[in-house]
């Protein structure tokens, strides 16, 4: 069987797909990954074979766009303006013409997207896969499957489904351009309703790594549950982890995208660290050095550089992160109670599923301060119900079909589809 992956240019989107790629290869199947040139290093480092033909959308830029829209709508909750969509520097509202920028950039992005879809279709016709598996915003995937006449399977990266919002801060004043921006609505805004319906109309199957208590609702497609196997990028097991001291151990995580897309005002690392150390906890810290500029770490904080999260979490009593899919799902597998500081309104709704399951708490990033974080952490490490719920959720996750078992399901899906290869497809 030949399986073609299509991924958007954001490691957190395709890292959850890597173990399935391993399982397919281990079972003797061929795997190729349609990607942008910028993702070749990450994919080869994961042991997969990239096909760098996509001119995919700039995901960082589009994440910033929603923030800028929120700023102009008056619902931006941070004291400083959001980053400029292009430069990442603080936005100057007096000189930035958002409407003109959007018209120019969206037209250019539409051209890139159509060109990228055409390249994906050309490769699919040439390589002739039996299946195409794609992430939620790898828009090229479903149309590559259409060109090859094979099933397209959506692979979720965590607790975000196709009908969950992808917008950042809620545009609660009724302007729908930045409210309830599901993946389909976001694409329709960019490239037109017809193309969006062609893409999301092919959602027949959805690979979902979330255990039932926190799984997103699906309005389309058959859910294929698959155990989440953490892959947080390459890295060695840390040899210098301190011995347990009898204090609570808290892992503090600040990923690569938070400050880049939300600006310095969103960087709550000092507050996270102060809240944990104020409880007498020792802290294992995973963060970029530039996000710690000008901050002297206490002796009880142990920074770990380029260490995969799944190698750090076992043995921790709690984890603090900003609500990313990778940190959330890795915490689920490790059975560690989690405190989420979601950067965005929709992320607050998603992390709320873990609060409802009893294994976590949420403090919105834009409301977080030392007292609120300390109070939440004190509950997580002090109340037995949280670790018990986290262990229960981990046990449910461990009972889901493995990627290896899922390979058999995928082969069955591919076997019942014998449609002819489409000779041409117009985007």
Provide the percentage of residues in the chain whose pLDDT is more than 90: 59
Q: What is the pTM for the complete model shown?
A: 0.90
Task: State phi, psi for 275 to the nearest 5 degrees.
Answer: -65, -45
Candidate ranges 114-128, 259-273, 279-293; pick with highest mean pLDDT? 114-128
135: CATH:
3.40.50.2000
How do residues 326-361 score in pLDDT, each as one tens digit? Answer: 999 999 999 999 999 998 766 776 788 899 999 999
Same domain for 123 and 269, yes or no, is no
147 pLDDT band (50/70/90 cuts)? very high
Q: How confident is the model at residue 166 (pLDDT cuts 50, 70, 90)?
A: low
Asked whether residue 386 falls in the same domain as residue 408, the answer is no
In a domain, residue 112? The reply is yes
- Pair (169, 281) in one structural domain: no
In a domain, 47, yes or no: yes
Same domain, residue pair 64 and 193: yes
User: Quick one: pLDDT at residue 181?
Assistant: 54
Q: How far is CA 156 from the centre of its chain?
A: 9
Quick check: 178 pLDDT over 50?
Answer: no
| Residue 425 maps to a domain | no
Q: Do both 37 and 95 map to the same domain?
A: yes
Highest mean pLDDT among 100-114, 154-168, 271-285: 271-285
Q: Are 15 and 49 found together in one domain? A: yes
For the record, the structure tokens of 302 come out as 């142990």
Look at residue 172 and tell me whether its pLDDT is greater than 80: no
**Is residue 320 in a domain?**
yes
46 and 173 in a single domain? The answer is: yes
Residue 233 falls within a domain, yes or no?
A: no
Same domain, 10 and 91: yes
Selected residue with higher pLDDT from 65 and 184: 65
The label of the residue with tokens 């989107």 reads: 13
- Phi/psi for 166 (5° steps) reads -105, 0
Can you give the pLDDT at residue 198? 83
Supply the range of the domain harboring residue 292.
249-398
Residue 416 clears pLDDT 80, i.e. is over it: no
Q: Find the mean pLDDT for residues 374-398.
A: 97
| pLDDT at position 168 | 46
pLDDT of 193 above 50? yes
| Position 226 confidence tier, pLDDT thresholds 50, 70, 90 | very high
110 phi-psi bin (left φ>0, alpha ψ -120 to 50, beta other): alpha
60-74, 87-101, 126-140, 382-396, range with the lowest pLDDT: 60-74
Most confident stretch, 11-25, 282-296, 347-361:
11-25
Tell me if 343 sits within 8 A of 266, measured CB to CB: yes
Q: In what order do the strands lie in the sheet with 360-362?
A: 301-303, 282-286, 249-253, 318-321, 338-340, 360-362
Same domain, 201 and 271: no
Per residue, the 3-state secondary structure of the chain, as one string, reads CEEEEECCCCHHHHHHHHHHHHHHHHCCCEEEEECCHHHHHHHHHCCCCEECCCCCCCHHHHHHHHHHHHHHHCCCCCCCCCECCCCCCECCCCCCCHHHHHHHHHHHHHHHHHHHHHHHHHHHHHHCCCEEEECCCCCHHHHHHHHHCCCEEEECCCCCCCCCECCCCCCCCCCHHHCCCEHHHHHHHHHCHHHHHHHHCCCCEEEECCCHHHCCCCCCCEEEECCCCCCCCCCCCCCCCCCCCCCCEEEEECCCCHHHHHCHHHCCHHHHHHHHHHCCCEEEEECCHHHHCCCCCCCCEEECCCCCHHHCCCCCCEEEECCCHHHHHHHHHHCCCEEECCCCHHHHHHHHHHHHCCCEEECCHHHCCHHHHHHHHHHHHHCCHHHHHHHHHHHHHHCCCCHHHHHHHHHHHHHCCCCCCCCCCCC
User: Residue 382 — very low, low, confident or very high, per pLDDT cuts 50/70/90?
Assistant: very high
175 and 288 part of one domain: no
pLDDT above 70 for 67: yes
Which is more confidently placed, 314 or 56? 314
Per-residue pLDDT at 105 exceeds 70: yes
For residues 223 and 289, membership in a common domain is answered with: no
Does 404 lie in the same domain as 375?
no
The answer to whether position 332 is within a domain reads yes
Asked whether residue 13 is domain-assigned, the answer is: yes
- Considering the domain boundaries, does residue 148 fall inside one? yes
Number of domains in the chain: 2
């Amino acid at each position: 069987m030949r399986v073609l992956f299509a991924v958007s240019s954001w490691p957190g989107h395709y890292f959850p797909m890597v173990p399935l790629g391993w399982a397919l290869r281990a079972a003797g199947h061929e795997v190729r990954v349609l990607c942008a040139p910028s993702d070749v290093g990450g994919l080869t480092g994961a042991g997969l074979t990239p096909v760098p033909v996509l001119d995919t959308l700039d995901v960082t830029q589009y994440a910033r766009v929603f923030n800028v829209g929120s700023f102009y709508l008056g619902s931006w909750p941070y004291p400083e303006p959001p980053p400029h969509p292009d430069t990442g520097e603080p936005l100057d509202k007096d000189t930035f013409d958002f409407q003109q920028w959007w018209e120019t950039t969206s037209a250019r992005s539409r051209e890139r997207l159509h060109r990228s879809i055409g390249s994906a279709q050309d490769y699919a016709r040439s390589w002739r896969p039996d299946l195409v598996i794609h992430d939620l915003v790898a828009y090229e995937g479903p149309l590559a499957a259409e060109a090859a006449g094979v099933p397209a399977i959506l692979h979720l990266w965590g607790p975000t489904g196709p009908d969950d919002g992808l917008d950042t801060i809620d545009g609660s004043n009724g302007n729908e351009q930045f409210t309830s921006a599901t993946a389909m609505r976001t694409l329709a805004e960019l490239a037109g309703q017809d193309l969006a319906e062609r893409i999301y109309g092919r959602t027949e199957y959805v690979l979902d790594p979330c255990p039932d208590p926190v799984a997103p609702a699906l309005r389309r497609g058959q859910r294929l549950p698959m155990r989440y196997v953490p892959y947080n990028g390459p890295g060695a097991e840390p040899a210098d982890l301190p011995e347990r001291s009898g204090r609570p151990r808290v892992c503090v995580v600040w990923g690569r995208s938070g400050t880049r897309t939300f600006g310095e005002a969103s960087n709550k690392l000092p507050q996270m660290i102060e809240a944990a150390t104020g409880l007498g906890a020792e802290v294992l810290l995973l963060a970029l050095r530039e996000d710690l500029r000008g901050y002297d770490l206490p002796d009880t904080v142990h920074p770990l550089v380029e260490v995969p999260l799944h190698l750090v979490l076992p043995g921790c009593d709690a984890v603090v992160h900003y609500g990313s899919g990778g940190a959330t799902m890795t915490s689920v597998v490790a059975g560690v109670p989690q405190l989420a500081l979601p950067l965005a309104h929709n992320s607050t709704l998603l992390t709320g599923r873990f609060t409802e399951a009893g294994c976590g708490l949420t403090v919105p990033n834009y409301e977080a301060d030392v007292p609120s974080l300390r109070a939440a952490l004190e509950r997580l490490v002090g109340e037995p119900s949280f670790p018990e719920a986290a262990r229960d959720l981990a046990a449910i996750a461990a009972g889901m079909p493995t990627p290896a078992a899922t390979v058999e399901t995928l082969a069955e899906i591919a076997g019942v589809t014998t449609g002819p290869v489409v000779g041409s497809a117009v985007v």
